[in-house]
Structure 1
Amino acid sequence: MADGTLPPVSSYPPSGPLPTTTLRQRLADLRGPAVPPRPLDARALAALAANPGCGRRTLLDGAGVDKTALAAALGSPAPFGQSQFAIARGNSFEARVKGDGGAVLLELVHRHLDAGAEPPGPDARVPDLTAAGPEGRAARTALALREATAFGAWTLLDHPMLALEVAGSPAYLEPDAVVVHPDGRWTVVEIKSFPIIDGAADAAKVGAAARQAAVYVLALEKTAGKLASAVVGHTVLLVCPKDFSNLPAAAPVDVRRERAVTRRRLERLTRVEELAAALPEGLGFDPELPAEELTAAVSAVPAAYAPECLAACELAFHCRERARAADEVTALGRSVRGELGALTTVGQALAAAADGGHADDPAAAALHRAARLRAEALEAAACPC
């Protein structure tokens, strides 16, 4: 949350979620009285959507807790973030792409996504989106989109601000650019610093960019819902350096699948007020608190650790340590956890493989059979005959 506020909630049952005013203060207490809220971005939302069962991340992100500082205070810092060199190189490349009134960027959009339209000319518009605060910028962006759609000419919105409600909290998102076509269609543009070499880019990085862009598309659709004539394109334009140069190359990326998956998962998130209402009074995540108190506070919120979290969450190393200490099978991966069914610890799985005393459990029976076959194979391999 960018400013610590939450949308109004009409009513709650007495034993259910907290009222809005109480919740706002409760989340501020969770962060710490002197800790400003850390706003959500599209990368964080994509990671949150990839693990919708993790109440811990939902609450911490919804409350605006700085998970990087929290992980360091817990003694399990995560090596996240780009180097200053990579950030400077990315900023330089983005400035080159958007230079000269966005002429290069608009030409790329025209060539790859709308070749049948009139080419962008000197009449292309780049409106000023300056406003006070994220809410003001989001309102200014919505107005600029409405005006551009009615105007019917190429328009580049440089770093617009979009709003999207996630688990009951507003998230303010800032895509690199949104282009309005002459026919009124809106296109998200993602500018990345990884290269496109010989017409191909790293598949994992393209996938991450697509998931991030899908979040922007969802937020843009919310704005478009207020305009009957607005259409949001589900093909985004990925702009990257060409080969090993600083020249831009572009590729269209269809994000319909990522959009559908992200939307479904975000809708499954437990609302922040429900998670906050279940916590005991006095609990907090202020990084200035003693490590013992922080550990107890984090442990009070249910998590859903998986090895995939190591690439997406600042608290992953702390959660992995706790999962291993508790002998949880989630530390082995989501696929293993799904296969083992009711067997939630490594000890239970090993016991089922050894004694086969759970004949009514298909997972336990399969483990016992696999262990027996392995023992027979090892015995046959050791036989000298």
Structure 2
Amino acid sequence: MPARALDARALAALAANPGCRRRAILDGAGVDKAALADALGSPSAFGQSQFAFMRGNAFEARVKADGGAELLRLAHQRLDPGAEPPRQARVPDLTAAGPEGRAERTAMALREATAAGGWTLLDHPMLALEVAGSPAYLEPDAVAVHPDGSWTVVEIKSFPMLDGSADPAKVGAAARQAAVYVLALEDVAARIARDVPAQDDAPDGAPAPRVRHRVLLVCPKDFSNLPTASAVDVRKQRAVTARQLARLTRIQDIADTLPEGVCFSPELPAEELTAAVEAVPATYAPECLAACELAFHCRAHSRAQGAVTALGRSVRAELGGLTTVEDVLAAAHGEAGDPDDPAVAALRRAARLRAEALSGHQDALGGHPAHRDHAHGDHREAVCR
């Protein structure tokens, strides 16, 4: 099966759930999770319509027309108004063989642009970032090099900015994606800073490479196809992503725990494929529904096991060592659990309060048996929640 390359969106989603070994190894192996979900009988709702894809490509081409003149004008206006205007910007050729070659060519272009000064636009550069012990190759929309030698990540999105502001959820997703590119650029800057002093042909007084933590988000203005831009500070997203990526278990360590012959090909029989997927532990949370193609499969499995993770990370954290719904109900009803455990004590207190509330409700209803049975069911459901 052809491997699917890791992109910044997948890395941002992986960093948001670093404890999920299933996603880590599937992404590291380049498995097509959408095809895998279809083969498992839990198809995902992910994907972009062909119309939206074509509209996004057309908007990006317009933004980058004439050597990126409009894009750099927006970068100058929003990020660096004190610098010289980008009248004659350079757009170097970044073609090379394979992702490794493109990453090296991008690093060379960044070094040359930093030393030369002036404005430079890198169109679809290739960046490398080590993730869980394996290299991931990332391709941002663009990187702008400022006259002072600093670098800015450019994200081009097709959702509109209405009256100067965009959908906060979409801006947040774009910021998390851009934070991954910032981390990868920082690795390139650190390598250039180490290599430049060792080169005899390095110009004197050349500016040191520096990655800006404010990225340029370019979107259509209002309901038109005209580009506008906003500077987005991604320092918080960068710090969170760096910390979460550092927590990822090495992919080789996960692979070493798998049985011999495990394969994730969607062409396998459903029973064999399901067994292979279940051989890797997953950490499901409701947030996965917005970030992972296997979320529906993992949710069904989590519900079948009665795992409290299906109720959300905050609920899971409050319940301590109680990992299943049955354990929670047993602890709440005094049938199991240590009374000194704060989670057990809180559950029993909640159960008592609920019982008292339902008792008062029953009195108001006149104690009708049907109402009593319904109230008892509500009580168990509320304790579970």
* TM-score normalised over the length of structure 1: 0.90
1:352 lines up with 2:317 in the alignment: no
Q: Secondary structure of the equivalent of 1:226?
A: helix
Who is 1:303 aligned against? 282
Who is 1:239 aligned against? 218
Cα deviation for residue 361 of structure 1 reads 1.3
Structure 2: gaps of 5 or more residues:
194-207, 367-385
Who is 2:321 aligned against? 342
Who is 1:109 aligned against? 75
1:129 lines up with 2:70 in the alignment: no
1:142 lines up with 2:101 in the alignment: no
Cα deviation for residue 227 of structure 1 reads 2.4
Cα distance in 2 for residues equivalent to 1:351 and 1:321: 23
The one-letter code sitting in structure 2 at the alignment partner of 1:38 is R
> Contact 1:356–1:368 at 8 Å: present in 2 too?
no
1:362 lines up with 2:377 in the alignment: no
Cα distance in 2 for residues equivalent to 1:375 and 1:224: 62
Question: What are the Cα deviations for residues 240-290 of structure 1, in whole angstroms up to 9, with x where unaligned?
Answer: 000000001100000000000000000000000000011010111011110
Q: How many residues in Structure 1 have an aligned counterpart in Structure 2?
A: 350
The one-letter code sitting in structure 1 at the alignment partner of 2:277 is V
Instruction: Find the partner of 1:153 among 84, 93, 118.
Output: 118
1:317 lines up with 2:296 in the alignment: yes
1:328 lines up with 2:307 in the alignment: yes
> Contact 1:356–1:365 at 8 Å: present in 2 too?
no
Who is 1:181 aligned against? 146
Cα deviation for residue 364 of structure 1 reads 1.0
Question: What are the Cα deviations for residues 286-329 of structure 1, in whole angstroms up to 9, with x where unaligned?
Answer: 11110101100111101000010011001101000100000000
Cα deviation for residue 356 of structure 1 reads 6.1
> Contact 1:356–1:364 at 8 Å: present in 2 too?
no
Q: Secondary structure of the equivalent of 1:355?
A: coil
Who is 2:251 aligned against? 272
Cα deviation for residue 383 of structure 1 reads 2.7
The one-letter code sitting in structure 2 at the alignment partner of 1:76 is S
Cα distance in 2 for residues equivalent to 1:331 and 1:206: 27
Cα deviation for residue 377 of structure 1 reads 1.5
Question: What are the Cα deviations for residues 325-359 of structure 1, in whole angstroms up to 9, with x where unaligned?
Answer: 00000011111101111000001101111116420
Cα distance in 1 for residues equivalent to 2:209 and 2:45: 41
Who is 1:23 aligned against? none
Map 1:38-53 onto structure 2 (within 5 A): 38-53=4-19
Instruction: Find the partner of 1:169 among 134, 141, 160.
Output: 134
Structure 1: gaps of 5 or more residues:
1-34
Q: Secondary structure of the equivalent of 1:352?
A: helix
Q: Secondary structure of the equivalent of 1:196?
A: coil
Cα distance in 1 for residues equivalent to 2:246 and 2:60: 33
Cα distance in 1 for residues equivalent to 2:305 and 2:125: 45
Q: Secondary structure of the equivalent of 1:302?
A: coil
The one-letter code sitting in structure 2 at the alignment partner of 1:365 is A
Q: Secondary structure of the equivalent of 2:137?
A: strand
Who is 2:369 aligned against? none
The one-letter code sitting in structure 1 at the alignment partner of 2:60 is E
Choose 253-262 or 220-229, whichever is displaced more: 220-229
Cα distance in 1 for residues equivalent to 2:317 and 2:323: 10
Instruction: Find the partner of 1:95 among 61, 66, 70.
Output: 61
Who is 2:50 aligned against? 84
Compute the RMSD of aligned alpha carbons. 1.0
Cα distance in 1 for residues equivalent to 2:165 and 2:4: 35
Cα distance in 1 for residues equivalent to 2:169 and 2:234: 14
Who is 1:207 aligned against? 172
The one-letter code sitting in structure 2 at the alignment partner of 1:178 is V
Who is 2:201 aligned against? none
Q: Secondary structure of the equivalent of 1:225?
A: helix
Instruction: Find the partner of 1:255 among 230, 234, 237.
Output: 234
Cα deviation for residue 380 of structure 1 reads 2.1
Percent identity of equivalent pairs: 75
Instruction: Find the partner of 2:156 among 191, 196, 213.
Output: 191
Moved over 3 A (4+): none
Q: Of the two, which has the highest radius of gyration?
A: 2
Question: What are the Cα deviations for residues 13-35 of structure 1, in whole angstroms up to 9, with x where unaligned?
Answer: xxxxxxxxxxxxxxxxxxxxxx1
The one-letter code sitting in structure 2 at the alignment partner of 1:143 is M
Question: What are the Cα deviations for residues 126-159 of structure 1, in whole angstroms up to 9, with x where unaligned?
Answer: 0000111101100000000000000001000000
Q: Secondary structure of the equivalent of 1:119?
A: coil
Who is 2:183 aligned against? 218
> Contact 1:279–1:300 at 8 Å: present in 2 too?
yes
The one-letter code sitting in structure 2 at the alignment partner of 1:277 is D
Question: What are the Cα deviations for residues 53-84 of structure 1, in whole angstroms up to 9, with x where unaligned?
Answer: 00000011111111111111111110111000
